[in-house]
Amino acid sequence: MTENTQNAGGEPILSLRGINKSFGAVHVLKDVGLDAWAGKVTALVGDNGAGKSTFVKGIAGIYAFDSGEYRFEGKTVTVNHPKQSAALGIEVVYQDLALCDNLDVVQNMFLGREMRSGLTLNETAMERRAQETLAGLSVRTLKSVRQKVSSLSGGQRQTVAIAKSVLWNSKLVILDEPTAALGVAQTEQVLQLVRRLADNGLAVILISHNMNDVLRVADSVCALYLGRTAAQIDARSTSTTQIVELITSGRSGDLGLPPALAQEAVA
C-alpha cells in the first residue's frame, strides 16, 4: 500500500506497516498499513468486517499484532497493553463512550486519574483544568461542568468523551464512529470539534461510515478492504465515488489493490 501514500506532510507520528493479525484460523488483518500525522485528521474507512475495529484495538494495545512494524514518533515501539499506548500518548474514544451517567463532567473527565492533594481529591484544580481543556477546544455547549452526564445530549456526551481523551497531553486520538448516533446539528458540532483537535496539533484517526463526514474533516483517507489496506490517499484529491469503490471492491481505477489481490480477497 505504501506506494499509494500520497500525503507528503512530513514525518508521520504513527506509522504502521505490514500488520498481520489472526484469530485462530481467521486471518483478519493482512499486511495492513496506515500513517497518521500530527495536525491532520486521518479517516479510516471500510465496510463492516473489513477489520477496522481489530486494527484500532491493536493500535490501542487491546490485542497484540502478530507481526508488522509499529512506529510512533519515528521509533519502533511494542504495544501489547492499553497502558503502553496510553503512555505513548494514544487515546481511544470508543463508540459507547464509557462515561458514568451518575457522575458529572469533571468527575468523568478525570475518572481513574483524579488529581489529589494528600488524601483528598483536588476538586478545584480538576474543575479548572476541565474548563481550560473545554475552552481550548472552544466548547460552548456545556452549561456547567458540574452537571451530571445523564443530563447531557448525545453530542455533549461525545464532546465530554473527546475532551477527556485530550486532557492528558495525548498526541494521537482515535475516534470510533463519533457521529454515528447523532442528529444533524450535533454531528456538525462534533465534526467541528474533530477538526479543532487536529488544528490544535493532535493527530486524529477518525473511523466513520459517513463519506460526507470523512470528506468534510479528513486530510487523508485510509480504506480497508477485507483485511487489507486498499489505499491511503489525500482527501483533497479524492471523491466520494472513489472512496466507496475502494471500500466495496478494493480498487478504484489504478488506485488500490492489484486485481489479483482484490480477487483473492473475495475468494
Q: Which is nearer to other proteins, 32 or 167 (CB)?
A: 167
Q: Which is nearer to other proteins, 102 or 240 (CB)?
A: 102
Cβ atoms of residues 198 and 42 within 8 Å: no
Which residue of 47, 114, 199, 234 would you call a contact of other proteins, by CB under 8 A? 114
* Angle formed by the axes of helices 154-166 and 123-136, nearest 10°: 110
Q: Which is nearer to other proteins, 132 or 264 (CB)?
A: 132
Cβ atoms of residues 59 and 119 within 8 Å: no
Residue 181 is a binding residue for other proteins (CB under 8 A): no
According to the 3-state scheme, what is the secondary structure of 132-182? HHHHHCCCCCCCCCCCEHHHCCHHHHHHHHHHHHHCCCCCEEEEECCCCCC
Residue 99 is a binding residue for other proteins (CB under 8 A): yes
Q: Which is nearer to other proteins, 94 or 255 (CB)?
A: 94
Residue 116 is a binding residue for other proteins (CB under 8 A): yes
Residue 145 is a binding residue for other proteins (CB under 8 A): yes
Residue 6 is a binding residue for other proteins (CB under 8 A): no
Grid cell at residue 231: 489505499
The footprint of other proteins on this chain (CB under 8 A) covers a number of residues equal to 46
Q: Which DSSP letter does residue 49 get?
A: T
Cβ atoms of residues 207 and 44 within 8 Å: yes
Q: Which is nearer to other proteins, 77 or 142 (CB)?
A: 142
In whole angstroms, give the CA distance from residue 218 to residue 178: 14
Binding stretches for other proteins (CB under 8 A): 82-83, 94, 96-103, 107, 111-114, 116, 119-121, 124-125, 127-128, 131-132, 134-135, 138-145, 148, 150-153, 185, 188-189, 192-193
